[in-house]
A and B are shown apart, each in its own frame.
Chain A
Amino acid sequence: MVQLSLEELYKEVILDHYRAPRNKGRLDPHDVALERNNPLCGDEIELFLKFDGDTLQGIGFEGKGCSISQASTSMMTEKVKGLNAKDARALAESIKRMMAGEEEGDVETLEDLVSLKGVVKYPVRIKCALLGWNTLLEGLDEAGHTPAP
């Protein structure tokens, strides 16, 4: 896949989600609510998760901050909604490895999330891009969907 320039990344991916975030808003009722921030930038999100057995049946978020943090969280909610906890965790871990430069990012499984890789060139912004994903992982832990030993 051709690496997006910063301008393409913003214009084709980030701004779409930033302007029209998916699953934005408080989710009630929920099983887990978690508030996390990125102290460096002041990005904030509050994530709401609702499970049906193992399935992440509902997800919502509130937040403010830079476009990368908010757009990445929006993309995250869109992708994990309806997944079972194990697959949601696997996806989040895969995104984290991609952002750490440890794996390429598989277009088949990650689809448009691969575009987030454009942020890797801007190391200080990686935390922004991962805020939602890290919060999701903590939310899964809190809901008792801990990783298999």
Chain B
Amino acid sequence: MSLDVEAIRKDFPILETEAHGKPLVYLDSASTSQKPRQVIDRMVRFYETENANVHRGIYELGEKATRAYEGSRETAARFIGARSSRSIVFTKGTTEAINLVRFTWARANVKEGDEVVVTEMEHHSNLIPWQLLIAETGATLRVLPIDNDEHKLRMDLLPEVINDKTKLVCVGLMSNVLGTINPIRELADAVHAVGGRIMVDAAQAAPHLQFDVNELDADFLAFSSHKMCGPTGAGVLYGREDLLEEMPPFHGGGEMIREVWTDHATWADVPHKFEAGTPNVAQVVGMAAAMDYLDGLGRDAIREHEIEMTTYALERLRGIDAIIYGPRKAEERGGVVSFGLEGVHPHDMATIVDQEGVCIRAGHHCAQPLMRCLGVPATARASFYIYNTREDIDAMIDALEKSKGWFS
């Protein structure tokens, strides 16, 4: 079944607003998505009828809040195919989830002489934590490069990059710049063969792709609510249950303990061991509502719609002689297209198209090593989601032609 985009658009109040007096054309969902009424209403309902602290109240209202929060954990587990909700740790987002792995599993397992592998297309959030880990442990960072043509991972170099010293491979499931969908299972098999682990950054993939953590054979996987129709301030770290069990705690505080003395303490079971302090309850509940919303639309249908949008955008961009980065086929990429126009700097482009109500991103997209590899200081980027239409892409192309006109 394909998406009823007109009906979906009615779910998103912000699409009724204007920018510079023109209808809003939002093509920056890879930065953050817009939020449907269903998610906004769910959070309002939580605050109006269920709000209390979780895991504490003896009273009925506290039970309601805890049910909403823990029910969200079940939803999140289903959303990514996790066998148990004990594998789901709530965080404030992908960045915190990746840093959690750095400070717990990695600190306990990565030593001097070990190697950690990243790729040339990583978002800074899946690069900087590992640079910091390397600096404190004396381990070595290895980089899997991308090719110069379609900017895919150089899987042919895998045997050189992954070896007996490899403790961890950190890779994005989908590139936020190029849209490239990476072969996670192949990377997981390679690192598991040498006894290492894989950390998957699914921030860009979770809103768009149906995936299953067991099929990917991911040891850790992180994603954020705000890119998938949910609120900011919520995210998920999936961890294999046996790994989570072995790991030391992350933050210390309330909620994550079993018994406390003045000089020592014991820890709560997973996943609560990793959730110190009062969590972002309403945001987590909103995130689960977003997952239900996306599942309700059908994740295959979402993917199909995005392939259609991306195919159309690639075709129209080629028509105005844009330089396009990343895989040529829409099937090999998510709904993200980075591009350039000869003679027009991306920042000028983004400012000028903004005058027409069109929101695109321009910059390094938190991937400076990738920009260096592409040989540009910045790119323009359009990204598509469930509420985007061909008319949105037409509006962008018209606006881009206008920016070209200014510079010609």
Contacts and interface: CB of A to CB of B under 8 A. Distances in A.
A66 B406 contact: no
Nearest to A128: B347
Interface string B361-388: 0111000000100001110000000000
Contacts of A65: 345, 347, 377
B377 A7 contact: no
A44 B406 contact: no
Contacts of B362: 41
B246 interface: no
A55 B371 CA distance: 40
Interface string A47-85: 000000000000000001111100000000000000000
B406 A10 contact: yes
B348 A41 contact: no
A43 B376 CA distance: 11
A67 B364 contact: no
Interface string B393-406: 00000000000001
Contacts of B355: 6-7
Contacts of B47: none
Nearest to A43: B377
B377 A67 contact: no
Contact of B406 (A11, A40, A64, A128): A11
B352 A6 contact: yes
A121 to B, nearest CB: 10
A10 B371 CA distance: 27
B351 interface: yes
A27 interface: no
Given A7-B406, A43-B377, A66 B363 contact: no
A105 B32 CA distance: 37
A15 B407 contact: yes
B128 to A, nearest CB: 14
A147 interface: no
A68 B348 contact: yes
Given A15-B406, A15-B407, A66-B345, A40 B363 contact: yes
Given A6-B355, A65-B377, A41 B407 contact: no
A25 interface: no
A41 B349 CA distance: 12
A42 B371 contact: yes
Contacts of B363: 40-42
Contacts of B346: 66
A42 B406 contact: no
A96 interface: no
B347 A66 contact: yes
A40 B363 CA distance: 7
Nearest to A18: B407
Interface string B114-150: 0000000000000000000000000000000000000
Contacts of A40: 363-364
A145 interface: no
Interface in A6-56: 6-7, 10-11, 15, 40-44
Contacts of A7: 355, 406
A11 B402 CA distance: 13
Given A10-B406, A40-B363, A67 B348 contact: yes
A136 B362 CA distance: 26
A6 B362 CA distance: 18
Contacts of A10: 348, 352, 406
A11 B355 CA distance: 15
B258 to A, nearest CB: 45
Interface string B159-176: 000000000000000000
Contacts of A66: 345-348
A10 B351 CA distance: 11
Contacts of A43: 347, 377
Contacts of B352: 6, 10
Interface in A94-141: 122, 125, 128
B202 to A, nearest CB: 26
A41 B345 CA distance: 10
A43 B348 CA distance: 12
B22 to A, nearest CB: 14
Interface string B177-208: 00000000000000000000000000000000
27 contacts: A6-B351, A7-B355, A7-B406, A10-B406, A11-B406, A15-B406, A40-B363, A40-B364, A41-B347, A42-B363, A42-B364, A42-B376, A42-B377, A42-B378, A43-B347, A43-B377, A64-B377, A65-B347, A65-B377, A66-B346, A66-B347, A67-B345, A68-B348, A122-B351, A125-B347, A125-B351, A128-B347
Interface of A: 6-7, 10-11, 15, 40-44, 64-68, 122, 125, 128
